[in-house]
A and B are shown apart, each in its own frame.
Chain A
Amino acid sequence: MTTLYLDRPSPIHRLNPVTKLVGLLAVVLVVFALPQWWASVAILVLVMVPAAVVSGVGGRLLLVTLILAGPLLLVLIIAQGFFYPGRETILFALGALQFSLEGLLLAVGVGTRTAVLVAASVLLLLTTHPGALMTALTERGMPAKVSYVVSSTLQIIPAFRTRAESILLAQRSRGLRTRGNIVRRVRVLLPLVTPLVLGVFVDVEERSTAMEARAFGSTRSRVSYAVIPDSRGQQFSRWALIVLALAVVVLSFTGVLR
């Protein structure tokens, strides 16, 4: 299955998926409400790092966040550092280009904000089984069709990779050469891609029959087989998080928190 999920015995893993979603939402709200560079850094240090440690997936979280947000942060530092118009304090110069503190701080602010958003999202995915997430959302009114699209895509993609390999072998066994110049490589695409795409159509047709045979699309109210644990404590926390985040937004807009 194509997924980030890593199974660990951590309290964060055990949380109800909706609680984690609300947590993510709260982080997003706060991060955008407080554009100051120190706000994002504070959230990173005070919220994300402890969460990463507790969840037991800190290593993977760090790696993925670096891969996704790292390059952006680097580009920002270079761009803003050298070209930020409001430059006053120069830290160093490279030829005609001057690197300013203001630019650096701006870059750090934006970059860290991105890093926090990425890290929070990735943490959610690392600690939440897609099936549990889909079930929790469907229970709260998300259409079953959306859940199906997500689950089936995650599970069927690896099968496509296997199929693509089989197609490649079958065509090479009929003499197709795959090495060579760019022109050859483009010509090679048709016999590789066509069966893959057509195969999808055949599959989709048969699978939709199987779905209908299992009464999918029935208008009866669905009951969920899997039970996703929840608690009053978590319910309360979710409301508290929302209230807190909204409070921060309001306080920020009204100029109290600057």
Chain B
Amino acid sequence: MKVSVHGLEFVYPSGVKALDGVDLEVESGSRLGIVGQNGAGKTTLVRHLNGIFQPTVGTVRIGDWETRGRDIADLAARVGYVFQNPDEQLFARTVAGDVSFGPRNLGVPPERIDELVNLSLERVGLAGEGQTHPYHLSLSERKRVALASVLAMNTPIVVLDEPTTGQDARGVAMIERIVRQLNEEGRTVIAITHDMDFCAENFDRVVVMAQGRILADGEPADVFANGEALDEARVEPPQLARLAIALGWTGTVLNVETFVNRLRDSERSR
């Protein structure tokens, strides 16, 4: 499902202007990574997508729906938002109970709910934990329950708020796998992240934000080669991109495979 943002401005009740004219078109089924310092407006932007915030000026469209005037619970059928802190939503006595909360609210028929719950738990590697009490799990496991609870809502658009923060290597690999699966299923994935390597390797579109505006918008290869925008946003390029710069290579490198190919090319040209 497509996401369209036009001329979006947002001013908090306190008077702080968090978004200063944002235009963004996210094609259906694409993977968008949003980067920038804290305070740049990333979370504010993304919270307009499920109706948590309503535009002060401008429009936000989720598919054919304009978000203006729509309830968060309505938009939840189209936009699944995975929050950072699982402890601010886990409440059921069992993991399965919590994961089924979303689908139940969306009116999914009961027979289908069990299926969705099991599938989601499998995806996050918690297949056997359906009857466990969520607070008997570790923090990183609780994060996975929260993620599963949104996956079970089966929404065409999934928003991930800092999905890899605090995760170890296996946790990051799981998130990468899920992003890939969601993409294969044709869903639109939007993630806010501070992990540039994760961003460069898993998303086909990157947006750099600073002070409520978009400074750069495009494919990772272009965005992460845009030193100016990255500097202004105080964002460090991914590790391999920095290596490419330090080695004096033209253009940028986003993953190991590309790096090896470039290396091979530069070997051949000797």
Choice from B81, B88, B106 contacting A167 with Cβ under 8 Å: B88
Complex Cα distance, B88 from A19, in Å, reads 44
Q: Which residue of A lies closest to B93 (CB)?
A: A194
Choice from A166, A175, A198 contacting B105 with Cβ under 8 Å: A175
- Docked-complex contact A191 and B91, CB < 8 angstroms: yes
Q: Which residue of A lies closest to B91 (CB)?
A: A194
- Docked-complex contact B88 and A173, CB < 8 angstroms: no
- Docked-complex contact A202 and B87, CB < 8 angstroms: yes
Choice from A170, A171, A175, A195 contacting B153 with Cβ under 8 Å: A175
- Docked-complex contact B105 and A177, CB < 8 angstroms: yes
Complex Cα distance, B89 from A199, in Å, reads 10
Give chain B residues whose Cβ lies under 8 Å from the Cβ of A170. Answer: 83, 88-89
Query: B33-41, B72-80, B177-185, B232-240: which one contacts chain A?
Result: B72-80
Q: Which residue of A lies closest to B108 (CB)?
A: A175
Query: Interface 1/0s, chain B 48-79, versus A by CB < 8 A?
Result: 00101000000000000000000111001100
Q: Which residue of A lies closest to B149 (CB)?
A: A174
- Docked-complex contact B52 and A173, CB < 8 angstroms: yes
Give chain A residues whose Cβ lies under 8 Å from the Cβ of B153. Answer: 174-175
- Docked-complex contact A166 and B88, CB < 8 angstroms: yes
- Docked-complex contact A191 and B87, CB < 8 angstroms: no
Complex Cα distance, B85 from A202, in Å, reads 13
The interface size of chain B toward A, counting residues with CB under 8 Å, comes to 25
Give chain A residues whose Cβ lies under 8 Å from the Cβ of B199. Answer: none
Q: Report if A199-B77 is in contact (Cβ < 8 Å); known contacts: A173-B50, A177-B105.
A: no
- Docked-complex contact A175 and B50, CB < 8 angstroms: no
- Docked-complex contact A174 and B105, CB < 8 angstroms: yes
Q: Which residue of A lies closest to B75 (CB)?
A: A173
**Cβ of A200 to closest chain B Cβ, rounded Å:** 10
Query: Interface 1/0s, chain B 97-128, versus A by CB < 8 A?
Result: 00001101110000000000000000000000
Give chain B residues whose Cβ lies under 8 Å from the Cβ of A175. Answer: 73, 76-77, 101-102, 104-106, 153
Chain A, range 172-228, C-beta contacts under 8 Å to B = 172-178, 190-192, 194-195, 198-199, 202
- Docked-complex contact A172 and B90, CB < 8 angstroms: no
Query: Interface 1/0s, chain A 161-172, versus B by CB < 8 A?
Result: 001001101111
Q: Which residue of B lies closest to A164 (CB)?
A: B88
Query: Interface 1/0s, chain A 145-172, versus B by CB < 8 A?
Result: 0000000000000000001001101111
**Cβ of A163 to closest chain B Cβ, rounded Å:** 6
Complex Cα distance, B50 from A169, in Å, reads 10
Give chain B residues whose Cβ lies under 8 Å from the Cβ of A174. Answer: 76, 89, 101-102, 105, 149-150, 153
* B135 in contact (CB, < 8 A): yes
Choice from A169, A176, A195 contacting B87 with Cβ under 8 Å: A195
Q: Report if A198-B135 is in contact (Cβ < 8 Å); known contacts: A167-B89, A174-B149.
A: yes
Q: Report if A177-B88 is in contact (Cβ < 8 Å); known contacts: A169-B52, A170-B83, A198-B135.
A: no
Give chain A residues whose Cβ lies under 8 Å from the Cβ of B106. Answer: 175
- Docked-complex contact A172 and B76, CB < 8 angstroms: yes
- Docked-complex contact A169 and B91, CB < 8 angstroms: no
Q: Which residue of A lies closest to B139 (CB)?
A: A202
- Docked-complex contact B71 and A195, CB < 8 angstroms: no
Give chain A residues whose Cβ lies under 8 Å from the Cβ of B102. Answer: 174-175
- Docked-complex contact A195 and B52, CB < 8 angstroms: no
**Cβ of B160 to closest chain A Cβ, rounded Å:** 13
- Docked-complex contact B87 and A190, CB < 8 angstroms: no
Q: Report if A195-B77 is in contact (Cβ < 8 Å); known contacts: A174-B153, A175-B106.
A: no
Query: Interface 1/0s, chain A 126-152, versus B by CB < 8 A?
Result: 000000000000000000000000000
Give chain B residues whose Cβ lies under 8 Å from the Cβ of A192. Answer: 91
Complex Cα distance, B90 from A191, in Å, reads 8
**Cβ of B60 to closest chain A Cβ, rounded Å:** 15
- Docked-complex contact B88 and A176, CB < 8 angstroms: no
- Docked-complex contact B83 and A173, CB < 8 angstroms: yes
Q: Which 9 A-B pairs have the closest CB atoms?
A: A175-B105, A194-B91, A170-B89, A174-B102, A172-B72, A175-B76, A173-B81, A191-B91, A177-B73
Could you list some 22 contacts between A and B, CB below 8 A?
Answer: A163-B88, A166-B88, A167-B88, A169-B52, A169-B83, A170-B89, A171-B91, A172-B72, A173-B50, A173-B76, A173-B83, A174-B76, A174-B149, A175-B73, A175-B104, A177-B73, A191-B89, A191-B91, A192-B91, A195-B89, A195-B90, A202-B135
A residues whose Cβ falls under 8 Å from a Cβ of B? 163, 166-167, 169-178, 190-192, 194-195, 198-199, 202
B residues whose Cβ falls under 8 Å from a Cβ of A? 50, 52, 71-73, 76-77, 80-81, 83, 85, 87-91, 101-102, 104-106, 135, 149-150, 153
